[in-house]
């Protein structure tokens, strides 16, 4: 029993190869509707035959042929003629049935099926559906007015009246369900797909932009550019990565870089910082925006120390030596905003950003280099080693230091070396 039912279900869901992608749902729906409508009208034919209503017997012969023709046209990719055959048949069936046996058996309700069909179609604009619906309602009203002032053409025998009364009560809900349920299910499925797609697009957007910036971008097309008076910037670069790229297979080098950056991401997630971007083997992060934080210099200083420790747990392929990073820190006023319309990015600009980048590029492997004024803001909280003046493009010689760790507590007070 299960196999025949499964075969019938598969047949109903079968879509002709010539069905356009945007009409697949309608083709499946019409396929079911036309077949069941032909069967229902054949049963109606037998009912009217038993009741002696000859006009409706012959009309139901036409109805079965009309829905069979609509199905034949559908399977050959001819959709609109079959649609209009179904529409006009239902209107005519309701009108003739009421004229033939009166309004007591509910055949005027055929107009409600036509109203549903008027709006479940992809061919015409909504205004056309409204016109069709208005015409059907006018026709139904005129038929009821006629039936209220004229005797029916036939008198239904008493032994058939119960069947004629009960039949619409059973068949109408079935037809309405058949007509509406596929679209209700499709709508629910579409809502789930839209929700899933929205969630995925939201996740991807938040991987590119900070959450408040993403919200502003979705709410307005205005340019986003914000001044931040005090932000601390960190640049980290994997030492010797270019040389490794020349020696290793592409898959191996990308896998290593992915693992290292994932580890840095995990470390950064513990701090109130915003990852800005990665450029090749360089990693950029900032504290103090888009929302201000207390003591952003201390935040990136601790983050830099943790990044050092996290990266050192990786080994250089072929040599098995600990992987090392070169890190530069700085803080100051920056401008942050979104640039571009395609593959847009949230980025930072300003002298403080440039100097942080120079601190990284002029630093030493395995060291965290900072300018002296940055170190002075962390006095008594972190330990530093003086490096001396470093030539920085556009700045000249700048006094720099290496951050070596947090200051050790001594007699309950902090200690830092800035000598």
Task: Please give the pLDDT value at position 14.
Answer: 64
- Three-class secondary structure of residue 7 per DSSP: helix
Strand partners, 345: 339
Contact 285, 225 (CB under 8 A): no
| Whether pTM exceeds 0.75 | no
Last residue of a domain, one of 137, 167, 202: 202
Give the residue-averaged pLDDT of 64-85: 90
- Read off the pLDDT of each residue in 269-280 and give the average, rounded to a whole number: 88
Q: What is the pLDDT of residue 58?
A: 94
Domain assignment present for 418: no
Kindly state whether residues 231 and 185 are assigned to the same domain: no
Question: Tens of pLDDT along 346-362?
Answer: 788 888 989 999 999 88
**Residue 332 falls within a domain, yes or no?**
yes
Let me know the angle formed at the C-alpha of 270 by 379 and 323, rounded to the nearest 5 degrees.
80
Percent of the chain's residues with pLDDT above 90: 24
Read off the DSSP letter of residue 157: -
**Structure confidence at residue 11 (pLDDT):** 61
Q: Is 325 helix (H, G, I), strand (E, B) or coil?
A: strand
How many CB atoms neighbour CB 178 within 10 A? 16
For residue 392, pLDDT over 60 is answered with yes
Percent of the chain with pLDDT over 70: 88
DSSP letter at 291? Answer: S
Q: Which of 357, 359, 361 is nearest to 375 (CA)?
A: 359
Q: Tell me the CATH number at 396.
A: 3.30.70.1230
pLDDT band at 70 (very low <50, low <70, confident <90, very high): very high
Buried/exposed 151-171: b ≥16 CB within 10 Å, e otherwise: ebebebeeebeeebeebbeeb
* Contacts (Cβ under 8 Å, ≥6 apart) of 257: 238, 241, 281
The pLDDT value recorded for residue 59 is 94
Place of tokens 């047949």: 11
Rounded CA gap, 200 and 247, in Å?
A: 37
* Cβ(378)–Cβ(345) below 8 Å: no
Instruction: Name the token pair of 365.
Output: 């492997």
Average pLDDT on 241-270 reads 86
Q: Could you report the per-residue pLDDT of 166-224, keeping only the tens digit for each?
A: 777 777 677 777 666 666 666 777 788 888 887 877 777 666 676 777 777 777 777 77
pLDDT at 271: 93
Residue 16's pLDDT is 66
What span, in angstroms and rounded, lies between the C-alpha atoms of 386 and 371?
Answer: 10
Instruction: Establish if 212 belongs to a structural domain.
Output: no
Task: Report the domain count for the chain.
Answer: 2
Task: Tell me the Ramachandran region of residue 243: left when phi exceeds 0, alpha when psi lies from -120 to 50, beta otherwise.
Answer: alpha
Say what the pLDDT of residue 186 is: 67
152 and 255 housed in the same domain: no
Residue 185 lies in domain: 2-202
Residue 343 is given by DSSP the state S
231 vs 345: which has the higher pLDDT: 231
What pLDDT is stored for residue 411 in this prediction?
Answer: 39
Measured distance CA(417)–CA(320) in Å, rounded: 33
């Amino acid at each position: 029993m299960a196999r025949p039912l499964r075969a019938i279900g598969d047949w109903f869901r079968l879509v002709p190869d010539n069905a356009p992608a945007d009409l697949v749902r309608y083709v499946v729906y019409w396929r079911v509707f036309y077949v069941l409508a032909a069967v229902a009208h054949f049963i109606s034919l037998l009912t009217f035959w038993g009741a002696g209503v000859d006009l409706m017997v012959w009309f139901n012969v036409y109805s079965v042929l009309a829905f069979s023709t609509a199905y034949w046209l559908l399977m050959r990719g001819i959709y609109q003629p079959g649609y209009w055959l179904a529409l006009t048949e239902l209107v005519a069936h309701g009108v003739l049935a009421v004229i033939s046996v009166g309004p007591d058996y509910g055949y005027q309700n055929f107009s409600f099926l036509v109203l549903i069909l008027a709006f479940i179609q992809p061919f015409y604009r909504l205004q056309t559906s409204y016109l069709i619906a208005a015409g059907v309602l006018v026709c139904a009203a005129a038929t009821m007015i006629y039936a209220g002032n004229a005797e029916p053409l036939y008198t239904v025998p008493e032994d058939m009246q119960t069947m004629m009364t009960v039949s619409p009560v059973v068949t109408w809900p079935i037809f309405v369900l058949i007509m509406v349920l596929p679209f209700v299910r499709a709508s629910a499925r579409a809502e789930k797909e839209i929700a899933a797609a929205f969630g995925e697009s939201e996740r991807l957007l938040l991987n590119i932009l900070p959450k408040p910036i993403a919200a502003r971008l979705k709410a307005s097309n205005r340019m986003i550019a914000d001044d931040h008076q005090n932000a601390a910037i960190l640049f980290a670069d994997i030492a010797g990565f270019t040389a490794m790229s020349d020696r290793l297979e592409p898959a191996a080098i990308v896998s290593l870089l992915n693992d290292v950056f994932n580890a840095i991401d995990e470390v950064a997630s513990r701090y109130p910082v915003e990852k800005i971007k990665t450029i090749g083997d360089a990693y950029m992060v900032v504290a103090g925006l888009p929302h201000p934080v207390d003591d952003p210099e201390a935040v990136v200083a601790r983050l830099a120390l943790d990044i050092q420790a996290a990266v050192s747990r990786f080994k250089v392929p072929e040599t098995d030596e600990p992987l090392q990073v070169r890190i530069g820190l700085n803080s100051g006023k920056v401008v942050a905003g979104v640039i571009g319309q395609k593959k847009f990015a949230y980025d930072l600009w300003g002298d403080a950003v440039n100097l942080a980048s120079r601190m990284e590029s002029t630093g030493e492997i395995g060291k965290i280099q900072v300018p002296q004024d940055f170190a002075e803001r962390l006095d008594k909280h972190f330990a530093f080693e003086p490096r001396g003046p470093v030539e920085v493009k556009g700045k000249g010689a700048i006094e720099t230091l290496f951050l070596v760790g947090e200051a050790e507590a001594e007699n309950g007070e902090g200690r830092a070396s800035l000598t």
